[in-house]
Protein backbone atom coordinates (compact mmCIF):
# COMPACT_ATOMS: atom_id res chain seq x y z
CA UNK A 1 0.00 0.00 0.00
CA UNK A 2 2.86 2.39 0.85
CA UNK A 3 4.50 1.71 -2.55
CA UNK A 4 1.19 2.29 -4.34
CA UNK A 5 0.82 5.61 -2.52
CA UNK A 6 4.36 6.66 -3.60
CA UNK A 7 3.61 5.69 -7.19
CA UNK A 8 0.49 7.87 -7.13
CA UNK A 9 2.52 10.80 -5.82
CA UNK A 10 5.18 10.28 -8.53
CA UNK A 11 2.48 10.01 -11.18
CA UNK A 12 0.76 13.18 -9.93
CA UNK A 13 4.08 15.03 -9.81
CA UNK A 14 4.83 14.00 -13.40
CA UNK A 15 1.45 15.26 -14.58
CA UNK A 16 1.94 18.59 -12.81
CA UNK A 17 5.44 18.90 -14.29
CA UNK A 18 4.17 18.12 -17.80
CA UNK A 19 1.33 20.66 -17.55
CA UNK A 20 3.72 23.35 -16.29
CA UNK A 21 6.24 22.64 -19.03
CA UNK A 22 3.50 22.86 -21.64
CA UNK A 23 2.28 26.21 -20.30
CA UNK A 24 5.81 27.60 -20.13
CA UNK A 25 6.52 26.45 -23.71
CA UNK A 26 3.40 28.25 -24.95
CA UNK A 27 4.28 31.44 -23.06
CA UNK A 28 7.81 31.48 -24.46
CA UNK A 29 6.74 31.46 -28.11
CA UNK A 30 7.77 34.57 -30.00
CA UNK A 31 7.02 35.83 -33.51
CA UNK A 32 10.26 34.12 -34.51
CA UNK A 33 8.69 30.71 -33.87
CA UNK A 34 6.96 29.19 -36.87
CA UNK A 35 3.96 28.07 -34.80
CA UNK A 36 3.53 31.41 -33.02
CA UNK A 37 0.06 32.96 -33.04
CA UNK A 38 -0.64 36.46 -31.86
CA UNK A 39 0.47 40.02 -32.32
CA UNK A 40 3.32 40.45 -34.76
CA UNK A 41 5.04 43.73 -35.63
CA UNK A 42 6.52 45.14 -38.81
CA UNK A 43 9.94 44.75 -37.23
CA UNK A 44 9.23 41.04 -36.60
CA UNK A 45 8.60 40.58 -40.32
CA UNK A 46 11.83 42.32 -41.26
CA UNK A 47 14.08 40.50 -38.79
CA UNK A 48 12.45 37.19 -37.84
CA UNK A 49 12.19 33.89 -39.67
CA UNK A 50 9.75 35.60 -42.07
CA UNK A 51 12.37 38.10 -43.26
CA UNK A 52 13.42 36.14 -46.35
CA UNK A 53 10.01 36.09 -48.02
CA UNK A 54 8.81 39.34 -46.45
CA UNK A 55 11.74 41.55 -47.48
CA UNK A 56 11.75 40.15 -51.02
CA UNK A 57 8.01 40.76 -51.52
CA UNK A 58 8.16 44.19 -49.84
CA UNK A 59 10.93 45.37 -52.18
CA UNK A 60 9.25 43.87 -55.27
CA UNK A 61 5.90 45.60 -54.76
CA UNK A 62 5.58 48.85 -56.68
CA UNK A 63 2.16 50.35 -56.05
CA UNK A 64 0.64 52.77 -58.52
CA UNK A 65 1.82 56.15 -57.23
CA UNK A 66 -1.31 57.95 -58.43
CA UNK A 67 -3.51 55.59 -56.41
CA UNK A 68 -1.18 55.86 -53.39
CA UNK A 69 -1.66 59.65 -53.40
CA UNK A 70 -5.45 59.17 -53.39
CA UNK A 71 -5.19 56.79 -50.42
CA UNK A 72 -2.85 58.99 -48.37
CA UNK A 73 -5.38 61.25 -46.66
CA UNK A 74 -8.51 59.09 -46.22
CA UNK A 75 -6.67 56.04 -44.81
CA UNK A 76 -5.65 58.05 -41.76
CA UNK A 77 -9.28 57.94 -40.55
CA UNK A 78 -8.98 54.21 -39.90
CA UNK A 79 -7.60 51.63 -37.54
CA UNK A 80 -6.58 48.42 -39.26
CA UNK A 81 -6.46 44.84 -37.97
CA UNK A 82 -4.75 42.23 -40.10
CA UNK A 83 -5.17 38.49 -39.63
CA UNK A 84 -2.64 36.52 -41.60
CA UNK A 85 -0.74 33.26 -41.67
CA UNK A 86 3.04 33.28 -41.99
CA UNK A 87 2.57 29.86 -43.63
CA UNK A 88 -0.03 31.12 -46.16
CA UNK A 89 0.97 32.03 -49.75
CA UNK A 90 -1.79 34.66 -50.00
CA UNK A 91 -0.66 36.29 -46.74
CA UNK A 92 2.95 36.18 -47.90
CA UNK A 93 1.88 37.98 -51.08
CA UNK A 94 -0.51 40.60 -49.65
CA UNK A 95 0.90 41.45 -46.18
CA UNK A 96 4.18 42.91 -47.53
CA UNK A 97 2.12 44.94 -50.00
CA UNK A 98 -0.01 46.34 -47.21
CA UNK A 99 2.98 47.28 -45.08
CA UNK A 100 4.75 48.95 -47.99
CA UNK A 101 1.59 50.86 -48.92
CA UNK A 102 1.14 51.97 -45.29
CA UNK A 103 4.78 53.08 -45.15
CA UNK A 104 4.32 55.12 -48.33
CA UNK A 105 1.28 56.95 -46.94
CA UNK A 106 2.92 57.47 -43.52
CA UNK A 107 0.24 55.48 -41.71
CA UNK A 108 0.80 55.51 -37.94
CA UNK A 109 1.86 52.10 -36.68
CA UNK A 110 -0.17 52.64 -33.49
CA UNK A 111 -3.31 52.34 -35.66
CA UNK A 112 -2.25 48.94 -37.03
CA UNK A 113 -2.48 45.51 -35.41
CA UNK A 114 -1.24 42.40 -37.18
CA UNK A 115 -2.00 38.91 -35.88
CA UNK A 116 -0.35 35.71 -37.01
CA UNK A 117 -2.83 32.82 -37.12
CA UNK A 118 -2.51 29.07 -37.30
CA UNK A 119 -3.85 26.85 -40.10
CA UNK A 120 -7.26 26.77 -38.37
CA UNK A 121 -7.50 30.59 -38.65
CA UNK A 122 -7.20 31.07 -34.91
CA UNK A 123 -4.83 32.57 -32.38
CA UNK A 124 -3.97 31.22 -28.95
CA UNK A 125 -5.41 34.34 -27.28
CA UNK A 126 -8.49 34.33 -29.56
CA UNK A 127 -7.88 37.81 -31.01
CA UNK A 128 -10.18 36.92 -33.91
CA UNK A 129 -13.19 36.33 -31.67
CA UNK A 130 -16.40 37.82 -33.12
CA UNK A 131 -14.58 39.05 -36.24
CA UNK A 132 -15.64 36.27 -38.63
CA UNK A 133 -12.16 35.49 -39.98
CA UNK A 134 -12.26 32.48 -42.32
CA UNK A 135 -9.59 33.29 -44.91
CA UNK A 136 -6.17 34.88 -44.63
CA UNK A 137 -5.14 37.48 -45.05
CA UNK A 138 -8.14 39.40 -43.77
CA UNK A 139 -7.52 43.13 -43.45
CA UNK A 140 -10.29 44.84 -41.49
CA UNK A 141 -10.79 48.61 -41.54
CA UNK A 142 -12.41 50.19 -38.47
CA UNK A 143 -13.45 53.77 -37.90
CA UNK A 144 -12.08 55.57 -34.85
CA UNK A 145 -15.13 54.47 -32.83
CA UNK A 146 -14.31 50.81 -33.47
CA UNK A 147 -17.00 50.06 -36.05
CA UNK A 148 -16.01 47.81 -38.91
CA UNK A 149 -16.24 49.69 -42.21
CA UNK A 150 -15.07 47.05 -44.70
CA UNK A 151 -12.49 44.34 -45.23
CA UNK A 152 -10.06 43.03 -47.81
CA UNK A 153 -9.96 39.22 -47.86
CA UNK A 154 -7.35 36.95 -49.41
CA UNK A 155 -6.83 38.55 -52.86
CA UNK A 156 -7.70 41.77 -54.69
CA UNK A 157 -10.67 42.26 -56.97
CA UNK A 158 -8.71 44.76 -59.09
CA UNK A 159 -5.23 45.58 -57.77
CA UNK A 160 -4.24 45.66 -54.13
CA UNK A 161 -4.02 49.44 -53.90
CA UNK A 162 -7.20 50.01 -55.95
CA UNK A 163 -9.14 47.73 -53.58
CA UNK A 164 -7.75 49.61 -50.58
CA UNK A 165 -8.63 52.93 -52.21
CA UNK A 166 -12.24 51.81 -52.64
CA UNK A 167 -12.43 50.76 -49.00
CA UNK A 168 -10.93 53.94 -47.52
CA UNK A 169 -12.97 56.27 -49.75
CA UNK A 170 -16.24 54.40 -49.05
CA UNK A 171 -16.74 53.35 -52.65
CA UNK A 172 -18.70 50.23 -53.44
CA UNK A 173 -16.45 47.29 -52.59
CA UNK A 174 -17.02 43.67 -51.65
CA UNK A 175 -14.40 41.09 -50.94
CA UNK A 176 -14.80 37.78 -52.82
CA UNK A 177 -16.48 36.09 -49.84
CA UNK A 178 -18.94 38.83 -48.90
CA UNK A 179 -22.57 37.80 -49.01
CA UNK A 180 -24.64 39.93 -51.30
Distance between CA atoms of residues 92 and 69, nearest Å: 25
Please report which residue ranges of 105-149 form alpha helices under DSSP H.
Answer: none
- For residue 34, CA distances in Å to 48, 56, 137, 149, 175 come to 10, 19, 17, 31, 28
- The whole model's pTM is what? 0.83
H-helix or E-strand spanning residue 91? helix 89-104
Per-position pLDDT tens, the chain of length 180: 555 655 666 665 555 555 555 444 445 677 767 788 999 999 999 988 889 999 999 999 999 999 999 999 999 999 999 999 999 999 999 999 999 999 999 999 999 999 999 999 999 999 999 999 999 999 999 999 999 999 999 999 999 999 999 999 999 999 999 886
Distance between CA atoms of residues 108 and 130, nearest Å: 25
Amino acid sequence: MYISFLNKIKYSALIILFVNLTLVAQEDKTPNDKDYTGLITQEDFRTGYTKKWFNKAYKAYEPNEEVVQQIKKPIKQYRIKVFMGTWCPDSRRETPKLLKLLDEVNFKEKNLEIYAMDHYKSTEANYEEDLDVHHVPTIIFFDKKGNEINRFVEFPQETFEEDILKIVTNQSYQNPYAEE
